[in-house]
Amino acid sequence: MPRVQFEDIIKTYGRVTVLKNLDLEIDDGEFLVLLGPSGCGKTTLLNLLAGLLDVTAGRITIGERDVTDLDPKDRGLAMVFQSYALYPTKTVRGNLKFGLASQKIDGAEVDRRIAWAARMLQIEPLLDRKPAQLSGGQRQRVAIGRALVKKVGLFLFDEPLSNLDAKLRTEMRLEIKKLHDELKSTIVYVTHDQIEAMTMATKIAVMDGGVIQQFGTPDEIYSRPRNLFVAGFIGSPAMNLRAGKITNGGGTVTAALDGVTLDLGRYGFASQPADGQPIVVGLRPEHFGAPGQALADAAGTFSLPVQYTEKTGGDATGYLKFGDGLIAARIDPEQIGRFRQGDTVDVSFPQGKVHVFDAVSGARL
């Protein structure tokens, strides 16, 4: 169960740079999720680790081994692909068996491993079927099985659940999590789905533009986003980001945005902000207080007209008109009746939940 290290990785395609001087360390037994929008370089990074692509410059080590120039089969890892990539002419058993093609092990051990993986993934009755005779979820299990039989310490997953329907996805999410707990192996998992990332990962690396924007536990990423990109990317509905200005005078720090003043007296600034510094304030929709109730530790209260509301079963979001944009606030679905279009409601925001970013650099203050 090895440690994985990327050192100063550069990857270019012709004149396009996909990864810029990337450094990343994945600890033994970690479940790392590479999260980011399409084209952020997360799949490229995974393929570099798998050996399916060559780095332009840099070094990759797995355990103590420098694998930068090794063939994929010699790197001691297994990979599950987005499209499953099963061999169509082989049976499930044949697929699992070919997973061991590069390992020199005897027939009895091969059979033992296939039986073990099949039991673990509950695909025993399917062993003699061809991939075409399987459903999407079953194919996904076989694809995972083909990786499992290798008994390696490092598994790579490339958006493995994106082709499944919502219900199956939730099931498989749990199952992959369970596999990780049982096998205690290191997992690198690529996805653009933040729910997958938040639920499964022990560490998340949020990527954008070929750069790791933040690397940390799911809680850290959610509660202390390091910059505007991470703040806007994590959370659904997305964090409300509004431009404003710092007022720093007389021992109190406040933020003025569009007529509302937010008290930042208890905000943990890394360094004291300057008076008049342009900032962006981030307010998560789910942290707004209930409409009409003033919170004791409110940083500020918004009195805004309702534009429209959105209900998703057990959850509801109100969109309030603020300046020339909208602010989303999570509301109790029971109370949605009180949010009528055009009505003005008072919602307050608690002090400890405010995020403040530098408007120029985008970094957290």
**Closest distance to other proteins from the beta carbon of 344 (Å):** 49
**Closest distance to other proteins from the beta carbon of 99 (Å):** 5
Beta partners for residue 310, in sequence order: 317
Binding window for other proteins (CB under 8 A); candidates: 3-11, 94-102, 209-217, 337-345: 94-102
Q: Which of 133, 217, 252, 344 forms a contact with other proteins (CB under 8 A)?
A: 133
Q: Which of 42, 146, 173, 226 forms a contact with other proteins (CB under 8 A)?
A: 146
- The rounded distance, in Å, linking the Cα atoms of 275 and 253 is 9
107 binds other proteins (CB under 8 A): no
CB nearer to other proteins: pick between 81 and 267: 81
CB nearer to other proteins: pick between 169 and 203: 169
Q: Which of 102, 252, 293, 341 forms a contact with other proteins (CB under 8 A)?
A: 102
Q: Which of 3, 20, 59, 130 forms a contact with other proteins (CB under 8 A)?
A: 130
Q: Which of 2, 36, 41, 131 forms a contact with other proteins (CB under 8 A)?
A: 131
Binding window for other proteins (CB under 8 A); candidates: 49-57, 61-69, 115-123, 353-361: 49-57
260 binds other proteins (CB under 8 A): no
- The rounded distance, in Å, linking the Cα atoms of 311 and 316 is 4
**Closest distance to other proteins from the beta carbon of 196 (Å):** 18
CB nearer to other proteins: pick between 130 and 224: 130
CB nearer to other proteins: pick between 139 and 284: 139
**How many residues touch other proteins (CB under 8 A)?**
34
Nearest to 275 by CA among 256, 302, 298, 261: 256
CB nearer to other proteins: pick between 81 and 222: 81
> Other CB atoms closer than 10 Å to residue 189's CB: what's the count?
26
Binding window for other proteins (CB under 8 A); candidates: 29-37, 125-133, 208-216, 267-275: 125-133
11 binds other proteins (CB under 8 A): no
- The rounded distance, in Å, linking the Cα atoms of 365 and 358 is 6
CB nearer to other proteins: pick between 72 and 209: 72
Find the largest Cα–Cα distance for the chain: 79
One character per residue 63-92, x = contact with other proteins (rule: CB under 8 A): --------xxxx--xxx-xxxxxxxxxx--
56 binds other proteins (CB under 8 A): no
Residues that bind other proteins (CB under 8 A): 50-52, 71-74, 77-79, 81-90, 98-102, 130-134, 136, 139, 146, 163
